[in-house]
Amino acid sequence: MLSQRSIDIIKSTVPVLEIHGTTITKRFYDMLFTSHPELLNIFNHANQKQGKQQTALANAVYAAALHIDRLEAILPVVKQIAHKHRSLGVKPEHYPIVGQHLLAAIQDVLGDAATPDILQAWAEAYGIIADAFIGVEADMYHQAEAQKGGWADFKRFRIVRKVKESDVITSFYLMPEDGAPLAAFEPGQYVSVKVEIPGDEHTHIRQYSLSDRPGKPHYRLSVKREDLVAARPAGKVSVFLHEMTTEGDVLLLSAPAGDFTLDQQDTRPVVLISGGVGLTPMVSMLYTLAATNPKRQVTFIHAAQNSLHHAFKRHIEELALQYPAVSFYWCYDKPTASDRAENAFHREGYISLDWLQSVVPTPSASFYFCGPVPFMKAVNSALREWEVPEEDRHYEFFGPAGSL
């Protein structure tokens, strides 16, 4: 337990962290990778280049300081991050290394303002928070390995099918190389994929949602090729998977993880809203609902540029014919002439509150949404304006956790 004096000292640093948090975390990563370049095998290099990882860590440190006297308030965030840590292979021995360089970065950025009392208080707090992560992650590692079909760390899976779903998204059907049964997963969860790219010094790990329902003899990952997006660093792993892998190749996978999961005990209507490749966990949820609870009312809304970028369109339209409780709507912001001629979409432009209210029967539903951050901010804002309670708004960030 932290002393009241340490709690008071850490709370006094909240305004400083609000201003200098990202500067501190940028310096932290510089120092960490200089001293321990082997840790580059764990981190997403693209997120580092874009500053997403630094911002996410700054937000986490700020939240820890703000709630240091009631850490139970950030326990949901701890569990969310712990899922990612487990899937990446973060181990207890990494925490002292991180703590050492985080304190050094605080001292380096703040200079004389980082007094010995402040550094000591943060060292104590970090120790408590690290212990919480280590404990939660130990349970997750045990559960991942002990479950039927489970495994520790990374396991070899063979690509048994590779299917182009749209101009930018390809699905990979994967089965264990050893022929063992698959570990179960919850609709909405993801796996980490570890690859070695020829010519690169470090391995790369990326997390991809499982896009098929549980109970199939395979895992399916549906990956967007990211080098086709302007003003963003090329996605090395997505390009590698699209261009350099073929059926029969082997990928290394972690056991399924993640807390963005469908509540299958809820009997109320469910609304699944996605943008771009954010539809992958939603498709898993939709297929699961159709297979296990076909009478539960489902509204599936997907936003894409146009039909060329729209994966699983035909599959979902065919599924809705079999299950009358499922309704679907497509929003295209850049429809092609063919899309217009074929009436291939329901709304041109972006999702808005008035349009949502016209197609969703009731706000008394469970809402799940995923996609680019600006898209999720717009959806979250619309649902909040519609007075959908926070506990009924569920969302997932692809990459480091951000804020809506």
Give residue-wise pLDDT tens across range 74-132. 778 888 889 999 999 999 999 999 999 999 999 999 999 999 999 999 999 999 889 98
Residue numbers belonging to the annotated binding site: 85, 190, 206-209, 276-281, 397-400
Q: What is the CATH number of domain 270-396?
A: 3.40.50.80
Q: Which of 18, 29, 93, 95 is catalytic?
A: 95
Residue numbers belonging to the annotated binding site for NADP(+): 276-281
Query: Six-digit token pair at 104?
Result: 């050094």
Contact (Cβ atoms closer than 8 angstroms) between residue 193 and residue 206: yes
Which of 44, 27, 35, 50 is CA-nearest to residue 102?
27
The CATH superfamily of 4-146 is Globins (1.10.490.10)
List, by residue range, all CATH 3.40.50.80 domains of the chain: 270-396
Is 173 catalytic? The answer is no
What is the spatial distance between Cα 375 and Cα 381, in angstroms, rounded to a whole number?
A: 10
Q: Which of 18, 72, 93, 137 is catalytic?
A: 137
Q: According to the model, what pLDDT value does residue 404 have?
A: 65
Is 95 catalytic? The answer is yes
The CATH superfamily of 154-254 is Translation factors (2.40.30.10)
What is the spatial distance between Cα 145 and Cα 329, in angstroms, rounded to a whole number?
A: 40
List, by residue range, all CATH 2.40.30.10 domains of the chain: 154-254
Q: In DSSP terms, which residues pair with 16 in a beta bridge?
A: none
List, by residue range, all CATH 1.10.490.10 domains of the chain: 4-146
Give residue-wise pLDDT tens across range 256-295. 999 999 999 999 999 999 999 999 999 999 999 999 999 9
Give residue-wise pLDDT tens across range 126-182. 998 899 899 999 999 999 999 999 999 999 999 999 999 999 999 999 999 999 999
